[in-house]
A and B are shown apart, each in its own frame.
Chain A
Amino acid sequence: MPKPQDPTRKKGSFGPTRLPVAVDLVFPAGSRRMMITGGVLAGIVALFFFIDTIILSDTFSSPGDLSSNHANFETECSSCHEPWGGATSQKCATCHEKTNDRTGVYSYAAHYLYRSGNFGRIQTSAHRTADDEQECSTCHQEHQGRDAAMTIMSDQKCTPCHDYGSFEDDHPEFAFAREALPDDSTLAFTHVRHTRFVYERLQKQSPTVYLEKACLYCHNAEPDGKAFKPLDFEAHCGDCHLTAATKTPNLAISDPADPAAPGVETLAMIQQRRGPGTLWAFYTNPNEFAVSPRGVVNSPVYHRDPWIMENLKQLSATLFGPETSLAGLFPIRRSEKPGTEQKAYAEAISALREYAAGLRSRPEPEVQRDLATIDSLLLIAERRSLMTAEALPLDLFMTKPNPELTASQQQDLEDFARRLAEPCLLCHQVEGAGILPVRSVQRTMARAEFGHRAHVLERRCLDCHTGIPVRQALLNGDTTGVKESDRASTHNLPRIDNCRECHGASRASDACATCHFMHPNKNNRGNLQLAVDRN
């Protein structure tokens, strides 16, 4: 055991200085000072913030100036910001959507509404849910300063969901090429021949004329230069086709006693009948029809000749039965792709409405009577359009011929219809007892937009539209490949490789927003109500 220490030694305290030192060590004044200083600083900051927020102009917490369009609201945060919600689309719509939100203009359920404006291309999306909706502020960011362009979108706004890498690498081939879609215009047409025709005439006027000027003879640009107007018979074809010499063959006149027998109605019969949409009969020159007991010959034949069309309608009605009420108004392709019934309905309704709209101002009671019929049909059609595809009656497509007719009778009717439309067969196709509709709108791209105007100074038509070798055929006399490709069903459109020749990483713009647009075309807004699927 160690020995006890000398008892005279001063013990029992923390050295010469007594305990208070120890206490000071434990709770030093310095620590208190620091906490107080810190607290004061924090208090100042908090005070400043709240004064600014509540009393002043609220700019302290602003992460940047607003763009000049919105600069007037800079001190009223609540014009865009909802409490606990951020900057919601509702708030944007207050100004940017003056019609109410029923039209859902800025609701891009899965943003399938593209600026192409071709609402016929709208496909319903299998997984279109509210989750696919994006808030405006996801892409349109404010607080980037006065000069910020809010509408310019960088690729980074798109790639989080659409990860296509870059245009050069991963962007998929255009749909028409990828799926090898045929151009489903139902015309028969060859470019080389017609272009040569026009070209030679142009050369007579000006020997050094560009070949592409011949293209422009028919393909007239829209005023904005981006696209081309639809082709029109009267403007582009009428000079050469359906001349005064054109006439139908001699066609048998229909016999009321034998409805199944193929025959046409004469002008007088049509006039007498007074069916819907037959007013034209009263304004038609009866001398155009050479009526004899053996038959009728119509000459000259016009484009969309009303007599031929009306008779084809009657033949269709005979062939497919009178139940197909809508069929009475216009011929529809029989071979519609399954699954597109609703689209067809929408097309039908849209066409009907257009038709009716044209007639509303006409005072004639017959017109008004027709309009009444149309309206009631529209009602039925609209109701049906809300059905699911499975529930839609397929008779719209006239796939079932009239069961009372025998096969040979049907065949006779169809043959007769072909004879009736003989002048049309140079270009058109007849199926059943109807002329297949021609798609005049030439736009193929559903998801993107192409502006010709930006390209024409650097490229000529035939630099990109190389599907049909027009240039080789006309300038070089090389006709290889012409027979295979020169038809209307060829999509004479450039593939993505063509675009990539100029558009790439360090060359012409390859940003998503160059070709793709998110918002619908303002000009087509009126049609949106029809187009947007309200499921």
Chain B
Amino acid sequence: MAELSKTQIKRVEQHKDRWSSFGKGTGILDIAEKPTPEVLRNYTLFREFDDKFLERLSPDISIARWKKNSMLFEEGSYIDVAFLIVAGEIQVSIEKQRENTQQLPIFNRSRTMIAGSGGLKPPAQAGMTVFQGQIAKQPVDGSPITYLASVDFNLPSDGVMTLGPGEIFGEIGALSGWPQSVTAKTSSECELVQIRVPALRLLRKRSASLKKLLDTLYRERALFSQLKNTPLFGGLPDSLLRSLVERIELVSCDPDEAIANEGEPCDALYLVRSGFVKMSQRVGEGNIVVSYLSKGGILGDVELLIEGTAGWVYTANSKEYSELAKLSRADLKEILSRNPGVESVLWNSAVNRLKESGYSRRVLRQSEFLDTALGKGLVEGNSILVIDLNVCTRCDDCVRGCADTHGGIPRFVREGDKIANLLVTRACYHCEDPVCLVGCPTGAIRRADVGDVVEIDDKLCIGCHTCANNCPYDAITMLSTGETWPADAIPEGFRGKEKELASKCDLCYTDPAGPACVRSCPHGCATRVGNVAEFRSLLRE
């Protein structure tokens, strides 16, 4: 077991009370869960809603009173909660320049091609535009702002900011799933409304004012620095960038929501901030998938650059929930006229997009493959265990290796979707944007301190099945501990039931040798794939 980092220790202490992540005995003086609509209406934020809606929100909201000088969360931790300050003051700071902004990737480098860290830039791959490749997970060199897409605050290094009543924080990290880039402490006794992601989403959809508030905050705190660090806008002068920040529209999409339709007039450029966008085109009587966009991708470059294209060339749909930034045509033209550098970046992106979609149209297998990848979540995963069935002798040494390194019980079985010669096993994909993190009552499932590995802490897990139910890929198993909950257990639903623990692949991240499954395979046919291009290279039709 690796040494617990500071954040992990803090969380464990914070979560000493097992059945609530904000339990007594931490910094919390008292906490009221599932507040009634009446209680909620005390706060401005909720006043405009009807009871029914508030009841829908209620399970995901709690109101807590915190002691002075207690730690809310630390830099680097993953929180799925947004905080609304009712009373008191919160000090937000960057405690330390992260010692190692260039964290080594957890994933075995030879098996996945994660950009960044040590200045490595991935080569351009099929399916990824240059732009995408460059901003995919690249910690910025030397900048005090550590993570690109989750920067909450535009703080200088060692800088401190104080937030007071009425202010919201933590929502960006919660919505995008990235680690917090700041540390939040109470500098006086505080009363906080703690809103979990599902409620946050609902609120944002319903409440125009909240949306506006969140947008404003985002623009104020994060968007500027985020744009500054993109290749597209990085070269622009600050003044222009600031005005841009005001003009950009932030778009949130639901699953399958259409962003653009082929043939319709194209009026804006979209920058994908999180999630995935499926791009398809009309062929014959139907549509085929020709490409997709992930974080940092650009939609509309082709249409806007190439004169004479009458409207959208692609139909774009948000695959699941995604967040985009929309820049109008006019604004873009203005930028282009003053900054030719931007145009060349756009051209690169456009050309790659055309190449890719052209290829997918010609070679229908590629389109089919992209469809499969999007449908089965291959785009989502950062480390998918893929077994080449042409070589696999079904010896189960991979499972045995996993079992051996995990106390005799394997974390996966050699079963899953079969795509041509590849078996996509149901070992945790370590998603880009894990659903399993949503709704965990104790915070037992979370990302390990340093990167993208999703792991479950046995000491905190209460076996509620939420994560197992949530996982779309069936990667989480419930294991029986052999004990039963006592008859006076506080969550009444557990009384007398078997105590279970959730268990899933943890990528053997504490082991310097890397995942046991990969190194146990006697024929070297088990690999952990980090992106779609790698997957494609293993495929043998």
Contact between A25 and B320, CB atoms less than 8 A apart: no
B255 beta carbon closer than 8 Å to chain A? yes
CA distance A7 to B469 in the complex (A): 6
A11 and B469 form a contact (CB under 8 A): yes
Q: Which of A14-22, A188-196, A228-236, A293-301 contacts B (4 or more CB under 8 A)?
A: A14-22
B477 beta carbon closer than 8 Å to chain A: yes
Query: B403-433: which residues lie under 8 A (CB-CB) from chain A?
Result: 403, 408-410, 413-415, 431, 433
Cβ contact within 8 Å between B474 and A23: no
**Residue B396 interfacial (CB < 8 Å):** yes
Q: In the complex, what residues of B have CB within 8 A of residue A14's CB?
A: 413, 415, 477
A339 on interface, CB distance cutoff 8 Å: no
Does any Cβ of B come within 8 Å of A361's Cβ?
A: no
Residue from A2, A15, A22, A27 in contact with B472 in the complex, judged by beta carbons closer than 8 Å: A2
Closest Cβ neighbor of A9 among chain B residues = B469
Contact among A2, A12, A22, A25 with B468 in the assembled complex (CB-CB below 8 Å): A12
Query: A22 vs B408: C-alpha distance in the bound complex, in angstroms?
Result: 10
Q: How many angstroms from the CA of A70 to the CA of B508 in the assembled complex?
A: 67
Is B310 interfacial (CB 8 A cutoff)? no
Q: How large is the interface on B (under 10, 10 to 19, 20 to 34, 35 or more residues)?
A: 35 or more
Flag whether A4 is at the interface (Cβ < 8 A): yes
CA distance A333 to B470 in the complex (A): 117
Knowing A1-B177, A11-B465, the reply to whether A26 touches B400 (Cβ < 8 A) is: yes
Q: For B319, what are the chain A residues with a Cβ–Cβ distance below 8 Å?
A: 2
Name which of B319, B431, B474 has the most chain A CB atoms within 10 A of its CB. Answer: B474
Bound complex: CA A5 to CA B403 (Å): 27
Pick the residue among A2, A7, A11, A23 that contacts B377 (CB under 8 A).
A2
Contact between chains at B396 and A25 (CB < 8 Å): yes
Would you call B479 an interface residue if the criterion is a C-beta within 8 Å of the partner chain's C-beta atoms? yes
Shortest distance in angstroms between A11's beta carbon and chain B's nearest beta carbon?
Answer: 5
Are the CB atoms of B410 and A26 closer together than 8 Å? yes
Contact with A along B86-99 (1 / 0, CB 8 A): 00000000000000
Within 318-351 of A, Cβ neighbours of B (below 8 Å) are at none
Q: In the docked arrangement, what's the CA distance between A12 and B480, Å? A: 11
Judge if A13 is at the interface, Cβ distance under 8 Å.
Answer: yes
Taken together as a complex, chains A and B put the C-alpha atoms of A15 and B408 apart, in Å, by 19
List residues of chain A with CB within 8 A of the CB of B477.
12-14, 19
Q: Would you give the 0/1 interface string for B375-395, flagging 1 where the beta carbon is closer than 8 Å to chain A?
A: 001001000000000000000
B409's contact among A7, A12, A19, A21, by CB below 8 Å, is which? Answer: A19
Q: Contact partner of B399 among A11, A15, A26, CB < 8 A? A: A26
Least CB distance from B497 to A in Å reads 14
Q: How far is the CA of A350 from the CA of B313 in the complex (A)?
A: 120
**Contact indicator B476/A2 (Cβ below 8 Å):** no
Give residues 1-56 of A contacting B (CB, 8 Å). Answer: 1-5, 7, 9, 11-15, 19, 21-23, 25-28
Check if B471 is an interface residue, CB within 8 A of chain A: yes
Give the chain A neighbours of B472 by CB distance below 8 A.
Answer: 2, 4-5
Give which listed residue, B275, B400, B415, B478, contacts A15 with CB less than 8 A.
B415
How many contacts between A and B, using CB within 8 angstroms? 81
B321 CB within 8 Å of chain A:
yes
Residues of B within 8 A of A21 (CB): 413
Chain A contacts of B415 at CB under 8 A?
Answer: 14-15
Known: A13-B477, A14-B413, A25-B413. A5 touches B321 (CB 8 A): no
CB-CB < 8 A to B468: which residues of A? 11-12
A26 engages B469 (CB within 8 Å): no
Contact check, B413 vs A2: say whether CB atoms are below 8 A apart. Answer: no
Asked if B479 contacts A26 (CB within 8 A), the reply is no
A4/B469 in contact, CB under 8 A = yes
Contact string, A171-204, partner B, CB cutoff 8 A, digits 1/0?
A: 0000000000000000000000000000000000
A350–B400 CA distance with the chains assembled, in angstroms? 85
Q: How far is the CB of A26 from chain B (nearest CB, A)?
A: 5
- Interface: B293 (CB within 8 A): no
The reply to whether B465 and A12 form a contact with Cβ atoms under 8 Å apart is yes
Distance (Å) between the CB of B240 and the closest chain A CB? Answer: 32
Q: Which residues of chain A are within 8 angstroms of B435 by Cβ–Cβ distance?
A: 1-5
Residues of B within 8 A of A12 (CB): 465, 468-469, 476-478, 500, 502
Closest to B402 in A: A26
Using CB atoms, name the residue of chain A closest to B322. A1
Nearest residue (CB) in A for B426 is A14
Known contacts A11-B476, A13-B477, A22-B399; is-contact A1 B471 (Cβ 8 Å): no
Whose C-beta in chain A lies nearest to the C-beta of B396? A25
Do residues B471 and A22 form an inter-chain contact, with CB atoms below 8 A? no
Given contacts A1-B435, A2-B380, A13-B477, contact A23 B409 (CB under 8 A): yes
Complex contact A3–B469 (CB within 8 A)? no
Pairwise interchain contact A1-B413, C-beta atoms closer than 8 A: no
Q: Which B residues are in CB contact (< 8 Å) with A3?
A: 255, 320-321, 435
- Bound state CA distance, A14 and B414, in angstroms? 10
C-alpha gap A4/B275 in the complex (Å):
15
Provide the residues of chain B in CB contact with A4, threshold 8 Å.
Answer: 435, 438-439, 469-470, 472
B 466-501 to A, binary, CB cutoff 8 A, 1 in contact else 0: 001111101011110000000000000000000010
Within 8 A of A (CB), among B248-289: 255, 274-275
User: Are B320 and A2 in contact, CB atoms less than 8 angstroms apart?
Assistant: yes
Which residue in chain A gives the minimum CB-CB distance to B276?
A: A2
Of the listed residues A9, A26, A27, the one surrounded by the most CB atoms of chain B closer than 10 A to its CB is A26
Chain B residues within an 8 Å CB radius of A9: 469
CB distance from B518 to the nearest CB of A (A): 17
- In angstroms, Cα B415 to Cα A15, docked, is 9
A488–B233 Cα distance when bound, in Å, is: 116
Cα(A5)–Cα(B413), bound, Å: 21
A-facing residues in B293-333 (Cβ within 8 Å): 319-321
Which residues of B, 94-113, contact A by the 8 Å Cβ criterion? none
- A3 to B476: give the CA distance in the assembly, Å: 16
Q: How far apart sit A23 and B396, CA to CA, in the bound complex (Å)?
A: 11
Min Cβ gap B402→A in Å is 9
**Nearest chain A CB to B535's CB is how many angstroms away?**
18
The verdict on A13 contacting B478 (CB below 8 Å), with A3-B320, A23-B409 known, is yes
Asked if A5 and B471 sit within 8 Å, CB to CB, the answer is yes
Given known contacts A3-B255, A25-B399, is B469 in contact with A19 (CB within 8 Å)?
A: no
Which chain B residues (495-541) contact chain A, with CB distance < 8 Å? 500, 502
Other-chain contact of A22, B255, B413, B431 (Cβ < 8 Å)? B413
The complex places the Cα of A14 from the Cα of B504 at a distance, in Å, of 11
Encode A499-523 as 1/0 by CB contact (under 8 A) with B: 0000000000000000000000000
- CB-CB < 8 A to A2: which residues of B? 255, 319-321, 377, 380, 431, 433, 435, 472
How far apart sit A12 and B502, CA to CA, in the bound complex (Å)?
8
**Whole-angstrom distance between the Cβ of A19 and the nearest chain B Cβ:** 7
**A330 → B minimal CB distance (Å):** 88
A27 to B396, CA, bound (A): 10
Q: How far is the CB of A256 from chain B (nearest CB, A)?
A: 110
A33 to chain B, nearest CB (A): 16
B396:A26 contact, CB within 8 angstroms = yes
B380 nearest CB neighbor, chain A only: A2
Is B474 in contact with A11, judged by CB distance below 8 angstroms?
yes
B275 engages A1 (CB within 8 Å): yes
Q: Given the complex, which residues of A lie within 8 Å of B410, measured CB to CB?
A: 22, 25-26
- Considering the complex, give the chain A residue whose CB is closest to the CB of B414: A25
Given contacts A11-B474, A22-B410, 5 further A-B contacts (CB under 8 A): A3-B435, A11-B468, A22-B399, A23-B409, A26-B396
CB<8 Å pairs between A and B, sample of 23? A1-B274, A2-B320, A2-B321, A2-B431, A2-B435, A3-B435, A4-B435, A4-B470, A4-B472, A5-B469, A5-B471, A12-B465, A12-B477, A12-B500, A12-B502, A13-B477, A14-B413, A14-B415, A19-B409, A22-B409, A26-B408, A27-B400, A28-B396
Q: Which 6 A-B pairs have the closest CB atoms?
A: A12-B478, A12-B468, A2-B320, A4-B470, A26-B403, A11-B468
Q: CB within 8 Å of A: which residues of B?
A: 177, 255, 274-275, 319-321, 377, 380, 396, 399-400, 403, 408-410, 413-415, 431, 433, 435, 438-439, 465, 468-472, 474, 476-479, 500, 502
* A residues apposed to B, CB below 8 Å: 1-5, 7, 9, 11-15, 19, 21-23, 25-28
